[in-house]
Amino acid sequence: MNVLLKSAKIVNAQSKDLHLKKRDILIQNGTLAKIASKIDAPKGTKIVELKNLHVSLGWFDSSVCFGEPGYEERETILNGLRTASLSGFTDIVLNPNTHPIADSSSDIVFLKNASRDSATDLFPLGTMTMGAEGIDLAELYDMSNAGAVGFYDFKSPIENSNLLKIALQYVQNFNGLIYSEPLDTKIAGKGLVHEGTTSTKLGLKGIPSMAEELQIVRDLFILEYTGGKLHIPTISTANSVKLIADAKKKGLDVTCSVAIHNLYYTDQVLEEFDTAFKVNPPLRDKKDTKVLIKGLNDGIIDFVTTDHTPLNIELKAVEFDNATYGSIGLESAFGLLHKIFDTEKCIELLTHGKERYGLSETVLAEGNKACLTLFDPDKEYTFEKDNIHSTSKNSMTIGESLKGKVYGIFNNDQLVLN
Residue 212 and residue 69 share a domain: yes
Q: Where are the beta strands (DSSP E) in 173-281?
A: 177-179, 193-194, 206-207, 229-232, 254-259
Note the pLDDT of residue 158: 97
Tell whether 387 is covered by a domain: no
Instruction: Give me the pLDDT at residue 47, please.
Output: 97
Task: Establish if 394 belongs to a structural domain.
Answer: no
Mean pLDDT of 369-378: 98
Residues 326 and 373 in one domain: no
Q: Do residues 64 and 23 both lie within one domain?
A: no
Same domain, 41 and 87: no
Q: What is the pLDDT of residue 83?
A: 98
Mark whether 222 and 326 lie in a shared domain: yes
Residue 255 · residue 306 · CB < 8 Å: no
Say if residue 100 is in the same domain as residue 218. yes
| Buried-exposed string 10-46: b where 16+ CB fall within 10 A, e elsewhere | bbbeeeeebeeeebbbbbbebebbbbeeebeeeeebe
pLDDT in tens, 169-222: 999 999 999 999 999 999 999 999 999 999 999 999 999 999 999 999 999 999
Mark whether 183 and 306 lie in a shared domain: yes
- Positive or negative, the CA dihedral 49, 55, 57, 63 is negative
Residues 380, 385, 391, 395, Cα dihedral to 10°: 80
Same domain flag for 294 and 341: yes
pLDDT at position 213 is: 98
Q: Range of 44's domain? A: 2-54+366-378+402-417
| 385, part of any domain | no
- Strands lying side by side in the sheet with 89-94: 59-64, 89-94, 121-124
Q: Are 149 and 91 in contact (CB under 8 A)?
A: no
Q: What is the DSSP string of 5-69?
A: EEEEEE--TT-TTTTT-EEEEEEETTEEEEEES--PPPTTPEEE--TT-EEEEPEEEEEE---TT
Mean pLDDT, residues 140-166 taken together:
98
Same domain? For 334 and 306 the reply is yes
- pLDDT top residue among 19 and 362: 19
CATH number assigned to the domain comprising residue 413 = 2.30.40.10
**Segment 146-172 mean pLDDT:** 98
Query: How far is residue 33's CA from residue 2's CA, in Å, rounded to a whole number?
Result: 10
390 in a structural domain? no
pLDDT at 395: 98
Q: Which of 24, 288, 302, 307 is catalytic?
A: 307
Residue 301 near residue 235, CB atoms below 8 Å: yes
Residues 7 and 67 in one domain: no
For the chain, what is the domain count?
A: 2
Q: In the predicted model, what is the mean pLDDT of the chain?
A: 97
Segment 269-287, tens digit of pLDDT: 999 999 999 999 999 999 9
- Residues 276, 261 share a domain: yes
For residues 89-109, give the mean pLDDT: 97
| pLDDT tens per residue, range 195-209 | 999 999 999 999 999
Whether residue 199 lies inside any domain: the answer is yes
218: in domain: yes
What does the pLDDT read at residue 98? 96
- Decide if 61 is catalytic: no
Q: What's the rounded Cα separation, in Å, for the pair 325 and 146?
A: 30
In 192-290, at which residue ranges do the beta strands (DSSP E only) sit? 193-194, 206-207, 229-232, 254-259
Indicate the pLDDT class of residue 147, thresholds 50, 70 and 90. very high
Amino acid at 164: L
35 with 78, same domain? no
Q: Is residue 393 part of a domain?
A: no
CATH of the domain at 307: 3.20.20.140
Q: Report yes or no on 391 lying in a domain.
A: no
CB 406 within 8 A of CB 374: yes
